[in-house]
């Protein structure tokens, strides 16, 4: 028997909640300065089409693309997500550029050192 839409929605909302907790606990081997969500989930939308947009600020010697690979391996979330890991220097330098300015406008900060 096929599940009804409300059941599917409730299951997915729980997966989103579990994913947010997993993000809070990620270990990058160094001090995380900031973790936040932005986009539709941060604005209160938690439906079957909702993904997580994650902004992470933490030191790293690795290039941006290598950091993206590392964080995706460590998170392995049960929902669709995009993660943007910036070093503190990159974040300070880029926070007034259109993409980050838009993301920061409606972000929900999960952790800030």
Query: Can you tell me the mean pLDDT for 11-25?
Result: 82
The predicted pLDDT at position 2 comes to 61
CA 54 to chain centre: 2
pLDDT in tens, 53-109: 999 999 999 999 999 998 888 888 888 889 999 999 999 999 999 999 999 998 989
Among candidate residues 103, 96, 81, the one with its CA nearest the CA of residue 34 = 103
Q: Is the pLDDT of residue 1 over 70?
A: no
Tell me if 2 sits within 8 A of 68, measured CB to CB. no
């Amino acid at each position: 028997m096929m599940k009804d839409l409300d059941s599917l929605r409730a299951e997915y909302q729980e997966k989103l909640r579990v994913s947010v907790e997993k993000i809070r606990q990620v270990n990058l081997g160094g001090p995380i300065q900031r973790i936040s969500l932005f986009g539709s989930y941060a604005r209160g939308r938690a439906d079957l089409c909702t993904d997580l947009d994650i902004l992470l600020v933490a030191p790293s010697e690795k290039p941006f693309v290598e950091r993206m690979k590392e964080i995706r391996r460590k998170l392995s979330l049960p929902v669709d997500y995009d993660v943007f890991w910036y070093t503190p220097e990159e974040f300070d330098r880029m926070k007034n550029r259109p993409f980050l300015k838009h993301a920061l406008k409606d972000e929900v900060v999960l952790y800030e050192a």
